[in-house]
Chains A and B, each alone.
Chain A
Amino acid sequence: MNVDESAIPSRGFWAEAWQRFRGKWIPMAALMVVVGLAVVALLAPAIAGTKPIVCKYKGRLYFPALAYWNRGLENPVFFVDRFHKRYPENLTQKDPDSWAVYPLVFQDPYRRVRDGEREGQAGNRVGAAPSLRNWFGTDHSGVDVFAQMVHGTSIALMVGFVSMGIAAAIGITIGACAGYFGGWIDILLSRFIELVMCIPTLVLILALLAILETPTIWHLMAIIGCTSWTGIARLTRGEFLRLKQLEYVVAARALGVGNVAIMFRHVLRNALAPILVPITFGIAAAILVESGLSFLGFGAPPPNPSWGTLLNAGRSNMESWWLILFPGFAIFLTVLSYNLIGEGIQAATDPRLRQSQH
């Protein structure tokens, strides 16, 4: 081996996996879609809305669009001055020197844009087909579908990440304990996993929503997370059972390394790549569950725009095809992307594929 070459630190497992992942265009395209959706979710108030991104009013700068993230971020001055959410006309009326930068699309996800709200833009018609003014059409109360979808993106993504975050934390912990310690602990935890597997998620969610007084999207995520960790747990258990017999784990025990350190430093690090795959698939499944619930009318509470809620609206107005097509396609694209990413991770980290290269 050349000396100069050997001084370079070798790339780690994840760096190599990333390079292999990057080399394949399908999972990369899927990753781009998800990254794109995340960007859309983050910039939603700047993409579609009726509140200015930034405006100068009575000598001060304001960012009313932040209200779409959190109502508390809207400066009280606009309430005091009775804007009634109609910025363009009020701004010019109450302060002729004011200026404002509006989102790309002047449409609100919560309400219908009325006539004369903004100069040169007519109000939304109810149940309008897609047009230049309403790209994806409007629903039965005249709210723009595009704006709803843009603002619904964050819910779709959050449902995936938060619920799978909860599921991964529970699943990995339980699976790791069952696989590593074995014996009675394994028997008990495995039976517990099987017990949870038997609970139909949808029914449990419906039951809990009936009990809760004010169900929010967070309750939904928690319930999805608490019921969908079983696959992750079983896979983690399997990986731990396999890995704990390997000699480097025995070597670590012989060196006097403690159980927790072995579980996390030695075993989990090697088990993580295969576990990542069901997590990505789980994100896709969680998005589907949320859309399904919204479709049935049990989803995110009404004011929140969500793709599933749009589908639900489309169900009662079958001739409004745009209410089905666009959100349906968005759900399809997101779920497909996550599944493709999952497959891409599998291909990039599978040891068998790696060996065949040598």
Chain B
Amino acid sequence: MSQPVLKIDGLQTYFRTDDGLVKAVDDISLQIKKGTTLGVVGESGSGKSVTALSIMRLLAASAEIVSGQIAFLGQDLVATSENNMRRIRGGDISMIFQEPMTSLNPVFTVGQQVMEAILLHQKTSKRVAREKTIELFREVGIPEPETRINSYPHQLSGGQKQRVMIAMSLSCNPQLLIADEPTTALDVTIQAQILEILCQLRDARGMAILFITHDLGVIAEIADQVAVMYRGKIVEYGEVLDIYENPSHPYTKGLLACRPRLESKYRFLPTVDDFMETKEQENGQFEIVEKQVDESRLEHFRSAGRGRRLHPLADLEALGYPWDPSTHDDDTEVVDKGTDPILEVKDLKVHFPIHAGVLRRVAGHVKAVDGVSFKIFPGQTLGLVGESGCGKTTAGRAILRLLNPTSGQIVYRGQDITHYSPAEMRPLRRQMQIIFQDPYGSLNPRMTIASAITEPMRVQGIGSSRSDRRDRAVQLLEEVDLSSDYLRRYPHEFSGGQRQRICIARALAAQPEFVVCDESVSALDVSVQAQVLNLLKDLQEKRGLTYIFISHDLSVVKFMSDMMAVMNAGKFVEFGPAELIYEDPQEEYTRRLIEATPRDDLDSLRARVAQRRELLSAG
């Protein structure tokens, strides 16, 4: 075959910071052929985005390409002039980013922005550029492109904005498209559509794609070759099927194992740490030591902990899932008859008024939560799954009375708390806690870890003295697997996973029995996500906690929950035992969600790779 579109040889990109030299990309080599997709996968900070920015020469001022070659169709991009680079950027190589919300300028129509990109690189009239824009919009699947080009970014949905970004990047027929986590901010159903469009465009135009993601599931859907990056180095590089069938590097093995799969039977997730250990050496280098994972360890992941705990028989029957032992695993239990639910929600509605006009009259309502009813029994996990805007977060916050419900009833341990005043709620705050999504936003940057964890104790009158509370904080940190040395530090020194553990410790400090986990693992890397999920399961068992687990990720919710509710447009679409809903979805919406979840099982991967081979050999 002809020369590769992109060939990187021994690329090293270093950052100069106050704390010394950071080797963000450390001697990597890879290549992409025409019409294929190279998936680069790694956790945050592994250097995958820096690689992309090095290719585009868009690095921050503190970064520098120290050595190596980036050959684009034989031309060395490291050595070429800035002027030449400007022609290549957006022309021969273009890039799409993670955040479609901020990548578009809000004061111009999307049509203007795409036209500008065309006019910048091609000598055409405005009329031709406009026609070309409409054509591109049609190509990326934007409905009614003639009217849509006059829309402003805020008038489009997230998926449509990402399509506009793709249209813009395609405007000059690039040979290479760099996609930096283009679907991470999108819902699964939209993600599936975007991936499909990227595949179609690649095949129709013979484009090469460098696809960067942290999600191995997405890789399985789109990539031909995979490069696994870890701490600035490529630890494994090869054909996608080889890597999935026979991962050789322990990190790849760990990454593959730690994803909660829809069909997996694990109760606890293996983590990367089960497969390897990273030893830091004196000179700043690190060494990876592989650990052997034997069958007994894997068996432990399957058998440790409790089985699923379903609603009492009568409730199951009422939900339309009468008890049938053959459809459940042997260890599935049901809550005893006569047990009182810890929380019962009846016809909960949360509507937000929309104000309009000069007098700010109420013109209508956003029905964020529109008539939701359910029960949770002590020790259960109820999963709430749905796409963004379906009302799952609003529901979670309304239950904790962080928002005022419009109507309906929230009964906690027999008390109707729907209309409790803040003062009446305060003692209950001790029992009901919440863990948020964003580990960066949910810790006060000016408070040390110690004061963050002891504050709830102080407020709720737990602990007899300052030193007693401090001792309890130490215990809590140890419970979430953090060192007690961290107490006097500030949040900015911690990674996302560590912060989330601190948030968990803070929530536990109030000694709650009921915890709402609001997208608590969504912002974390898969490897860290597995650790936090394990921790949450572990804590549930040790402390007898009851969870409402909210997530947009069906596989995570299914892994965590006993009972699962699928939410759409403020209503429960489906509610029942998590296993059964996944195995036999009754509703079209649920089915779509399940189908859109990336498939990374070997069978579907083999099928896709076989299809690709046929296509590539034919072309």
Asked if A pairs with B, the answer is: yes
Residues of A within 8 A of B (CB): 2-3, 6-7, 9-13, 246-248, 250-258, 261, 265-266, 269-270, 356-358
- Name A272's closest neighbour in chain B (CB-CB): B446
B17, A250: Cβ atoms closer than 8 Å: no
For the complex, is B116 an interface residue (Cβ under 8 Å from A)? no
- Chain B residues with CB below 8 A from A9, complex form: 448, 488-489
- Name B430's closest neighbour in chain A (CB-CB): A256
- Chain B residues with CB below 8 A from A270, complex form: 444-446
Q: Give 4 new A-B contacts, CB below 8 A, not counting A10-B488, A251-B436, A356-B60.
A: A6-B489, A10-B490, A248-B442, A265-B447
Question: CB within 8 Å of A: which of B440-489?
Answer: 441-448, 455-456, 459-460, 483, 485-486, 488-489
For the complex, is B426 an interface residue (Cβ under 8 Å from A)? yes
Nearest CB in chain B: distance from A209 CB, A: 42
A256, B402: Cβ atoms closer than 8 Å: no
For the complex, is B382 an interface residue (Cβ under 8 Å from A)? no
Nearest CB in chain B: distance from A252 CB, A: 7
- Chain B residues with CB below 8 A from A7, complex form: 485
Question: CA separation between A223 and B550, bound complex, in Å?
Answer: 55
Question: CA separation between A253 and B426, bound complex, in Å?
Answer: 9
Q: Which 4 pairs across A and B sit closest by C-beta, in order of nearness?
A: A256-B429, A9-B488, A247-B442, A10-B489
Question: CA separation between A250 and B437, bound complex, in Å?
Answer: 12
Nearest CB in chain B: distance from A3 CB, A: 7
- Chain A residues with CB below 8 A from B432, complex form: 254
A250, B436: Cβ atoms closer than 8 Å: yes
User: Which of A6, A13, A246, A251 contacts B434 (CB under 8 A)?
Assistant: A251
- Chain B residues with CB below 8 A from A252, complex form: 444, 455
For the complex, is B146 an interface residue (Cβ under 8 Å from A)? no
- Name B442's closest neighbour in chain A (CB-CB): A247
- Name A255's closest neighbour in chain B (CB-CB): B456
A255, B506: Cβ atoms closer than 8 Å: yes
- Chain A residues with CB below 8 A from B246, complex form: none
- Chain B residues with CB below 8 A from A6, complex form: 483, 485-486, 489
B438, A247: Cβ atoms closer than 8 Å: yes
Residues of B within 8 A of A (CB): 17-18, 60, 62, 280, 397, 400, 402, 425-427, 429-430, 432-434, 436-438, 441-448, 455-456, 459-460, 483, 485-486, 488-490, 493, 503, 506-507, 510
User: A-B contact count, CB below 8 Å?
Assistant: 94
- Chain B residues with CB below 8 A from A269, complex form: 444, 446-447
Nearest CB in chain B: distance from A320 CB, A: 52
- Chain A residues with CB below 8 A from B460, complex form: 255-256
B459, A248: Cβ atoms closer than 8 Å: no
- Chain B residues with CB below 8 A from A13, complex form: 445-446, 490
- Chain A residues with CB below 8 A from B443, complex form: 248
B433, A254: Cβ atoms closer than 8 Å: yes
- Name A12's closest neighbour in chain B (CB-CB): B490
Decide yes or no: A247 and B436 within 8 Å by CB, A256-B425, A270-B444 being known contacts.
yes
- Chain A residues with CB below 8 A from B445, complex form: 13, 270
- Chain A residues with CB below 8 A from B510, complex form: 255-256
A266, B444: Cβ atoms closer than 8 Å: yes
- Chain A residues with CB below 8 A from B488, complex form: 9-10
A358, B17: Cβ atoms closer than 8 Å: yes
Question: CA separation between A130 and B442, bound complex, in Å?
Answer: 63
- Chain B residues with CB below 8 A from A248, complex form: 441-444
Question: CA separation between A248 and B440, bound complex, in Å?
Answer: 9
B490, A251: Cβ atoms closer than 8 Å: no
- Name B435's closest neighbour in chain A (CB-CB): A251
Nearest CB in chain B: distance from A345 CB, A: 16
User: Which of A3, A12, A256, A356 contacts B485 (CB under 8 A)?
Assistant: A3
B429, A254: Cβ atoms closer than 8 Å: yes
Most buried by B among A13, A247, A257, A357: A247
- Chain A residues with CB below 8 A from B441, complex form: 246-248
B483, A3: Cβ atoms closer than 8 Å: yes
Nearest CB in chain A: distance from B313 CB, A: 34
Nearest CB in chain A: distance from B369 CB, A: 17
Question: CA separation between A357 and B18, bound complex, in Å?
Answer: 8
Nearest CB in chain A: distance from B373 CB, A: 23
Question: CA separation between A133 and B14, bound complex, in Å?
Answer: 63
- Name A273's closest neighbour in chain B (CB-CB): B446
Nearest CB in chain A: distance from B382 CB, A: 18
- Chain B residues with CB below 8 A from A11, complex form: 490
Can you pick out 28 interface pairs between chain A and chain B where the beta carbons lie within 8 Å of each other? A2-B280, A3-B483, A6-B483, A9-B448, A10-B488, A10-B489, A11-B490, A246-B441, A247-B442, A248-B443, A250-B434, A252-B444, A252-B455, A254-B434, A255-B433, A255-B455, A255-B506, A255-B507, A256-B425, A257-B459, A258-B426, A258-B459, A261-B459, A265-B444, A266-B447, A269-B444, A269-B446, A357-B62
Question: CA separation between A270 and B18, bound complex, in Å?
Answer: 24
- Chain A residues with CB below 8 A from B437, complex form: 247
Question: CA separation between A7 and B510, bound complex, in Å?
Answer: 26
- Chain A residues with CB below 8 A from B485, complex form: 3, 6-7
- Chain B residues with CB below 8 A from A253, complex form: 402
- Chain A residues with CB below 8 A from B400, complex form: 254
A256, B426: Cβ atoms closer than 8 Å: yes
Question: CA separation between A358 and B17, bound complex, in Å?
Answer: 7
- Chain B residues with CB below 8 A from A247, complex form: 436-438, 441-442
- Chain B residues with CB below 8 A from A2, complex form: 280
Nearest CB in chain B: distance from A1 CB, A: 8
- Chain A residues with CB below 8 A from B446, complex form: 12-13, 269-270
B459, A250: Cβ atoms closer than 8 Å: no
A251, B503: Cβ atoms closer than 8 Å: yes
Most buried by A among B60, B442, B444, B507: B444
A251, B489: Cβ atoms closer than 8 Å: no
Question: CA separation between A10 and B506, bound complex, in Å?
Answer: 19
Question: CA separation between A266 and B488, bound complex, in Å?
Answer: 17
- Name B449's closest neighbour in chain A (CB-CB): A10
- Name A250's closest neighbour in chain B (CB-CB): B402
Question: CA separation between A32 and B17, bound complex, in Å?
Answer: 28
Nearest CB in chain A: distance from B310 CB, A: 28
- Name B438's closest neighbour in chain A (CB-CB): A247
Question: CA separation between A3 and B433, bound complex, in Å?
Answer: 32
Most buried by B among A251, A252, A270, A358: A251
Nearest CB in chain B: distance from A243 CB, A: 10
Nearest CB in chain A: distance from B384 CB, A: 17
- Chain A residues with CB below 8 A from B425, complex form: 256
B456, A256: Cβ atoms closer than 8 Å: yes
B459, A256: Cβ atoms closer than 8 Å: yes
Question: CA separation between A270 and B507, bound complex, in Å?
Answer: 22
Nearest CB in chain A: distance from B446 CB, A: 4
Nearest CB in chain B: distance from A83 CB, A: 57
Question: CA separation between A250 and B429, bound complex, in Å?
Answer: 12
- Name A2's closest neighbour in chain B (CB-CB): B280
Question: CA separation between A332 and B277, bound complex, in Å?
Answer: 62
A257, B455: Cβ atoms closer than 8 Å: yes
- Chain B residues with CB below 8 A from A254, complex form: 400, 402, 429, 432-434
- Chain A residues with CB below 8 A from B448, complex form: 9-10, 12
- Chain A residues with CB below 8 A from B456, complex form: 255-257
Nearest CB in chain A: distance from B494 CB, A: 10
Most buried by B among A9, A255, A257, A266: A255
